[in-house]
Structure 1
Amino acid sequence: MRIDDIYAKLKELAGENGVSAKEIAEALNIGRSNVSHELEEQKGTTLQKMELSTLFGAGPESSYLQSLYTTKLSLIKSKDDIKTIQDYVTGTISELTDEIIQLSQKRLEKTFDINFQYALSIHLEKTLNRLKFDQLITHPRLNDIRIKHNREFNVALDCLRIIEKKVDISMPIDEAAFLTMLFIHYEDSEVLRAKQVRVMLIMHGESAATSMADTVNELLDVEYVKGFNLSLKVQPQIILEQIIAYIKTWEVKSDLFLLVDMGSLSNFGAVILRECGVRTKTMQLVPDRVQ
C-alpha cells in the first residue's frame, strides 16, 4: 500500500473517531517508523545500517545521500528499466522528477542518467511523505552548502518552487541543501563503472577459467568476470600478452582482481600495472579455495 493510500485511510479513520489524522499517525508511530527522512533519528548512527559515506564528509546526511545511490541501484541498468522506478514512486513524483531534471540539466549544463533519476525520485517520495505528517526537515550544513555551492543551491531553490506549484505544499529551505548534495555528488555511469573492480580468472587447462567465469556472470547477472584459459602447451607469456591487449580495449579503466591457480601467473599483476596502469590484487590457489 502506498503512503497516499495509508494517509487517506488515516483521514477516514480520523473522521469516524473525531481525532486528527496526525494524532492517529503519531499513535501508530507511522511517520517515524515508515515514512522518515531518516536524518535527525539517525544522528550518531547509520542510515538503514549502512556505513557513513565519504561523499560529503561525515554525518548522517552523507549516509542518506549514499543510500539513494546504492539501494536498489543494481536494478537500474538502462532506460528500458524506467518502469522499475515507477514501481517505487507515484505518478506525481515521476512527473516532478522529470521537470526537475530538465531544469537542472539546462541550468547546470550537465546530463543526469537513469541512476540519478532513481535517486531523485526516491528522495522526493521520502521528503513529501515526511511533510504530510508535519515532520521536520533540517540539514545541519545548510549555510555551508549555500555558500560553497551557490550555483547548485540556486537551482535547487527553483526546484523547490516547481515542487510547491505541483503538489501545493510549502517546502523548507533545508530541502534545497539536500537537492544541492544530489547535484554536486552525482556521478554518471562511466565514473561509477570506473570504481567497480573487475575480476579476471586465469587457470591452467582448456576451459576451466572461462567456464567458471561464465557461470558467475550468469548467476549474478553481471559481466565483471573474464576468464582466460592457459593450455599446458602454451607459454604463460602468450596469455599475458592477450590479457594486456584485452585490458587496453577497456573504455573505462578499473582496478583488477586476479584469481589464479599457480606458478608464474601470480606475477602477472606487476606486469599489468606497468604496461596498462591498472592496479591489481592477486589471489593464488583459487581451485583449492573454491572446493
Structure 2
Amino acid sequence: MSWRQATREEIYRYYDEDFPSYRDELPSFITAKGPKQYALAFREPHPVRKEGVPDKDFIRRDTWQTNTSGERTTAAFQEFDDILEFIRHPARNDPLGRSNFALADPDLLDKPDPCPDAVYYALDHWERPWVLLVDIDAKDIARNRAADTVSEDIDDQNNDAFLNAAGILDAAPEGYPYAFEDIERAIEYGFEVRDVFEDDFNAQETMVVYSGQGVHVYLLDSDPAHRYDAKSREVLNDLLQDTYKIPIDPVVTADRRRVARLPYSLHADVCSIVTPIESPNFDVQSATPEVIQK
C-alpha cells in the first residue's frame, strides 16, 4: 500500500459524488451558520479581483457579517448546500461576492476554478462553546522516533536528511515524512487521549477523527464552570504532554483562531477521507473514497 495526491478531477468527483452522502453524518455542531468560519486550501494559488494583491492558496470566509458590536447581522451561508457549492466552486460562490478581495472569476482568467486540497471549519463557534480539539500528527511522531534512533550528528532535525537517516522516507508510504507505523501510533495515541477525557474529565461526549496524517480528538461536553477556557486548555496540554507523554500539538488546543479539517472532507495529499473512527484498529486504507478506488 502506498499513497499519492488526488488529481484535480478526483477531487471534483469526490465532492460531487461521494461527499453529499456524508452530510447527515456530520457532527450536529457543524452547520452552515454555527462555526465562525470555513476555510479552503488550494494546491495552486488563485488570483483575487484586486490587482496587486498576492494570489491566495488559503482563504477563510466568515459565516456571518457582524456589526461594530460583534453581533451577527447577515449570514454568508443559509444552509449546508451553500457550503457545498462553495467547496465545489470557490471562486464562483465566494461569499465575498464582488469585493476586491474575493477570488477572481475564472471566466475572466486563463485559469480554472480553484480546486480545494483541504476543507476546514473554525473551532470557534457562534452557538456553542469553543470546540476543544487535540491534534496528534504522524509527522511529529516520526521525528521523535528518528531522534531516538539516529546516532548521526544532524543539526537540523526538520530536514529530510534526518528522516532519511532513520529510514522513514523509504518506508511506506514512500516519500512522506512519516511511515504507516507512525500513523498507526497516532491513532493509538488518539484513543489514549479519549480515555483521558473520559476517565480524568468524566467526559460524556468525545470523538476521534482520522485526519489523513494523524488524528483529531474532540471533547464535546460543555463544562459549566469555565467551558474549557484558555487557562483550562493550558492545563490539559500540560497533562497530556508531561504526565501522559502524548505528543500533541498544544497550539491547536489553545489557539481560538484555529481551524480543523472538516469531517468527511478529502485530504487530497493522501487520497483519504477525514473519518470519525471507533477503534484504534482502524484500517487507513478503508478511508480511500470510491471515486479514487475506481
Common topology (TM > 0.5): no
Instruction: Please report the TM-score for the alignment, with normalisation by the length of structure 1.
Output: 0.23
Task: Report which of the two has the higher share of helix.
Answer: 1
Structure having the higher Rg: 1
Instruction: Please report the TM-score for the alignment, with normalisation by the length of structure 2.
Output: 0.23
